[in-house]
Structure 1
Amino acid sequence: MSTPTRSTPVRPTPGRPVLRIRGVHKSYGPTEVLHGVDLTGRAGEVLAVVGANGAGKSTLIKILAGAERMSAGELQLDGEDVALRSPHDAHTHGIRTVHQELTLVPELSVTENLLMGHFPRRLGGLIDWKAAHRRARDLLDGIGYGAIDPRVKAGRLTVARQQMVEIAKALVSEGGEPKVLVLDEPSAVLAGSDLEALFALIRRLQERGVLIIYVSHRLAEVTELATSIVVIKDGRVVAETTPDRTDENELIRLMAGRPAGQL
């Protein structure tokens, strides 16, 4: 699937630092997979993280999601040290992660997946399904995914539409809009208008000051969307750059350690 052709985007100027990670190490037994990773993300920034398979991207994502604990290092949000001991901790601190693997309950409707645990209720405690479907519809409309019927079971949607519901779920869950939204290969199953909708949503979130950490192997997307790019190789950050200072061939060279023509 190819990236839709668009004119060169106007990239918002990133604001204050929102996320800082310093000297992050992660070991599994005697094997160290992250070797002192440093990373800074700012409000309104699309920070792309790229690297070959096995570079350490997935481990870093799991640490940010609270699914794994770092072995050493520090993490700050809005200038304050935080400890992410669980996904609930990450969620509470405003870090939401949309993993490549789908987590929707296929036998439940889109509304149920979006509002699980937070349904509007009638007197007596019964769920107000009419209000629930209306709220789900408003949420989907508000982020540009209005083509999705909230009454349909999630398992009946295409994989692309399920991915869009996953993103919507991360944005509308309890606690309000995230400070940091981590997207792990979000476009792997998207194309055409669905991909356009994702890009438009990312631009709107940028304007509202959300830090987007965009992990992708699609380098054409990275150079189009990102305001800054971090390249990880063998568990280390080997380069920090911007789209106007690099291109796909240079990113491949940095990721692989040799020119693209030799691969």
Structure 2
Amino acid sequence: MTDGIPYRVRMTGISKRYNPIQTLDTVSLTLKPGEVLGLVGDNGAGKSTLSKVLSGAVIPDSGTIEIDGKAVSFASPADARAAHVEMVYQDLSLCDTVDVAGNLFLGREPRRRILGVPFLDNRKMHGLTRDMLDRLGIVIADTRLKVENLSGGQRQSIAIGRAASFEPKVLIMDEPTAALAVAEVEAVLELIRTVSARGVSVILITHRLQDLFLVCDRIQVMYEGRNVAERLIGETSIEEVVNLIVGRKFSARSARHGNETGVSA
């Protein structure tokens, strides 16, 4: 608990080793209700493994996890979902040949019975999909469009919307704005703001550091499987975050400056 607000998530002493590689070394993470935490680090820093521990996809060797002050143990993503933890992976896991509504309700489609026989209730499913998209501010004209015909930003929004439809307490997003156009990036960031405003705690993993300063409340930096720093978003800068990520003082040198000192470009 901090400032009188109980933690939505509290991970303590999380460690994970894959043979000789210590992927996570006694890592801790806290998250408040409605908070957006930027989890950053270079490739191999351990941020994806830590998020997979929280989402139930990876079982840690040691450490504890608490959700709303209650100790939990996840052996699978189904266990994490039961505790209202959802993760949107970078590959989205959408079915391209299925329409928008079908992707949102995949595996839990509403049904109606005719003479005792269950049938898919398409009208209800599309109506619920439209309501859900409108509540989240997701702009898609037709819920019958196949996902393969959507833009990258729309596909990302559908993946986030599907996760949000499970009423999560915690939503983890892995590189949600990678390879998106500028307008699509803003739409996804606005969706993050909408979800967090509803009280959902968000963990944002991204290499687009500028995005952190648009939606995050706090940043946690990982380096070689360990926590190295936490910063409130208003008390840091992109330059400091870069320095922390690379683990040494970072100074950008232009090609012109390099040529002036005899270094070839």
TM-score by length of 2: 0.88
Match among 86, 89, 96 for residue 76 of structure 2: 86
Distance 1:166 1:180, change over 3 A: same
1:3 is aligned to: none
Counterparts of 2:197 and 2:5 in 1: how far apart (Å)?
Answer: 10
Deviation, structure 1 residue 262: 6.0
**Partner Cα separation in structure 1 for residue 129 and residue 213 of structure 2:** 33
Q: % of aligned pairs identical? A: 38
**Other-structure match for 2:237:** 247
Between the two proteins, the alignment pairs up a number of residues equal to 248
Deviates more, 1:246-255 or 1:205-214: 205-214
Match of 2:20 in 1: 30
Which residues of 2 match residues 21-60 of structure 1 at below 5 A? 21-60=11-50
Taking the TM superposition and a 5 Å limit, the aligned residue runs for 1:53-132 are 53-124=43-114, 125-132=118-125
Report the CA distance shift for 1:224/1:178 in structure 2 as closer, same or farther (over 3 A).
Answer: same
* Structure 2 letter corresponding to 1:162: R
Between the aligned partners of 1:254 and 1:14, the Cα distance in structure 2 is 30
- C-alpha displacement of 1:221: 1.2
| Alpha-carbon distance between aligned partners in 2 of 1:247 and 1:14, rounded to the nearest angstrom | 28
| Structure 2 unaligned regions, length at least 5 | 254-265
Q: 2:214 aligns with which of 212, 224, 231?
A: 224
Instruction: Report SS of the residue matched to 2:11.
Output: strand
Q: CA RMSD in A?
A: 1.8
Instruction: Tell me how far apart the structure 1 counterparts of residues 237 and 201 of structure 2 sit (CA, whole Å).
Output: 23
2:147 paired with 1:158: no
> What is the deviation of 1:120?
2.5
Worse-superposed segment, 186-195 or 108-117: 186-195
Matches within 5 A, 1:113-262: 113-124=103-114, 125-173=118-166, 177-261=167-251
Distance 1:102 1:244 in 2: 31
Cα separation, 1, equivalents of 2:65 and 2:87: 16
| Structure 1 residue identity aligned to 2:159 | E
CA-to-aligned-CA distance 1:124-145 (integer Å, 9 cap, x gap): 2111212211111111111111
Q: Is residue 137–residue 146 contact of structure 1 (8 Å, CA) maintained in 2?
A: no
> Larger Cα Rg: Structure 1 or Structure 2?
2
Segment drifting more, 234-243 vs 216-225: 216-225
Q: Which amino acid counterpart does residue 207 of structure 1 have in structure 2?
A: A
Q: Could you report, residue by residue, the CA deviation over 1:26-53 in whole angstroms, capped at 9, with x for unpaired residues?
A: 0112321100001110011111111011
Structure 1 residue runs of 5 or longer lacking an equivalent are 1-12
Q: 1: distance between equivalents of 2:33 and 2:66?
A: 14
